[in-house]
């Protein structure tokens, strides 16, 4: 039966086909739409060929020697950056295939090295292309999937978090397209929680700009954005790596006022997430004067409010924390009128 197997193109042929097609797209972009269409079809075939070389199928077993040769051809031919740039020109299936191929290449290990990760580090505009991809709803989810694959690697996450484009995520998570906004939030969450040392550095260095942008999410008219942002804020502040950031955040009386407002939100879920941030202000043994003054001024109201707060919740940890907060607030000296 082997006689009837279709033969896969050689790795060098696949990358040459892709490169020629990409050149044709650029050359004919404004003058010859039919030539562009033909080139796009060529790329679709090439990406299927690349995927078959990497994964095999019922007819083809993946051959390690071919996989190594293909990866090296992809690096030396530099087809990845322009493929990302032209991603929106491909059909849905081709884009999906490309995301699979990209993810496979990123996972490649040669001893202790990750050659594709090193390649993307050297060609960091690829990360900018993926980030800006959120501006196009047709490719936003594809770009998001690839970007999350990238930021799982610390060296790439560092490039993303220090790029001016990282601030665009505060716009992307508020986009009217729910799927795109949710995907963007998944990506920014991955960026802010995966590699703790570089995130702590970033937050300390960009504290004012970050929390100014973040406050707009906490005040968002969109319920999902508010809830997700509050939950993530709680995770960031309670992470030991962000101790300095947490100390600065809970020393600001404006942040306390915002949490007290969110504690009274009409959504029980938002109230609950706000509680987990509010408790950090109250538990702080070194409360600055501004914070202490607000807590003292609102002491009686807070005690009454927390006594009746989510009493139906069967959660031992929450109930213990609530009891602890009530005790802490009751011990705050009342402000002199």
CA distance 70 to 52: 11
pLDDT of residue 6: 66
DSSP symbols for 48-112: HHHHHHHH--SS----HHHHHHHHHHHHHHT-HHHHHHTGGGS-HHHHHHHHHHHHHHHT--BTT
Q: Identify whether 76 is part of a domain.
A: yes
Cα distances from 307 to residues 303, 310, 329, in angstroms, run 6, 9, 11
For the stretch 102-141, pLDDT in tens is 999 999 999 999 999 999 999 999 999 999 999 999 999 9
Q: Which residues pair with 113 in a beta bridge?
A: 110
For the stretch 272-308, pLDDT in tens is 999 999 999 999 999 999 999 999 999 999 999 999 9
CA distance 104 to 84: 15
CA distance 1 to 286: 78
Tokens of 196: 């703790």
Beta carbons within 10 angstroms of residue 282's beta carbon: 22
pLDDT of residue 3: 42
Long-range Cβ contacts of 176-180 (<8 Å, 24+ apart):
177/137, 177/140, 178/224, 179/140, 179/141, 180/134, 180/137, 180/140, 180/141
pLDDT of residue 134: 97
Q: Identify whether 99 is part of a domain.
A: yes
Q: Identify whether 214 is part of a domain.
A: no
- How many CA atoms lie less than 13 Å away from 34 in the CB half-sphere? 0
pLDDT of residue 241: 95
The whole-chain average pLDDT of the chain stands at 93
pLDDT of residue 316: 87
Q: Identify whether 97 is part of a domain.
A: yes
pLDDT of residue 30: 85
User: Which residue matches tokens 């504690």?
Assistant: 263
130-133-135 Cα angle (round to 5): 150
pLDDT of residue 335: 65
Under DSSP, the state recorded for 312 is T
Q: Identify whether 238 is part of a domain.
A: no
* Domain extent for 80: 9-111
- The domain tally of the chain equals 1
Low-confidence ranges of the chain (pLDDT < 70): 1-6, 335-337
Q: With DSSP H G I counted as helix, E B as strand and the rest as coil, what are the percentages for the chain, rounded to 5?
A: 75, 0, 25
CA distance 319 to 327: 12
Q: Which residues pair with 110 in a beta bridge?
A: 113
């Amino acid at each position: 039966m082997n006689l009837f197997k279709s033969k896969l193109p050689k790795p060098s042929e696949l990358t040459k086909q892709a490169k020629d097609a990409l050149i044709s797209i650029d050359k004919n972009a404004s003058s010859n739409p039919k030539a562009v269409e033909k080139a796009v079809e060529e790329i679709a075939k090439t990406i299927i060929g690349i995927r078959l070389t990497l994964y095999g199928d019922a007819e083809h077993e993946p051959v390690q020697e071919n996989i190594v040769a293909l990866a090296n051809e992809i690096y030396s031919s530099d087809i990845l950056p322009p493929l990302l740039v032209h991603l929106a020109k491909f059909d849905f299936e081709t884009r999906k295939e490309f995301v699979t191929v990209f993810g496979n290449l990123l996972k490649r290990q040669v001893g202790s090295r990750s050659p594709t990760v090193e390649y993307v580090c050297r060609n960091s505009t690829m990360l900018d292309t993926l980030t800006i991809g959120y501006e196009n709803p047709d490719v936003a989810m594809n770009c998001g999937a690839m970007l999350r694959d990238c930021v799982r690697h610390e060296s790439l996450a560092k490039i993303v978090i220090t790029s001016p484009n990282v601030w665009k995520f505060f716009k992307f998570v508020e986009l009217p397209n729910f799927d795109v906004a949710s995907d963007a939030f998944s990506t920014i969450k991955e960026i802010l929680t995966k590699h703790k040392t570089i995130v702590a550095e970033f937050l300390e260095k960009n504290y004012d700009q970050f929390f100014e942008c973040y406050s707009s999410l906490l005040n968002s008219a969109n319920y999902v954005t508010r809830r997700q942002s509050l939950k993530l804020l709680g995770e960031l502040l309670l992470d030991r790596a962000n101790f300095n950031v947490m100390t600065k955040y809970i020393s600001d009386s404006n942040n306390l006022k915002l949490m007290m407002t969110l504690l009274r939100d009409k959504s029980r879920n938002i109230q609950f997430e706000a509680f987990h941030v509010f408790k950090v202000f109250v538990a702080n043994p070194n409360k600055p004067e501004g914070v202490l003054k607000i807590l003292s001024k609102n002491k009686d109201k807070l005690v009454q409010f927390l006594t009746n707060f989510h009493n139906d919740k069967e959660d031992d940890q929450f109930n213990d924390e609530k009891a602890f907060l009530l005790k802490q607030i009751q011990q705050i000296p009342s402000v002199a009128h």
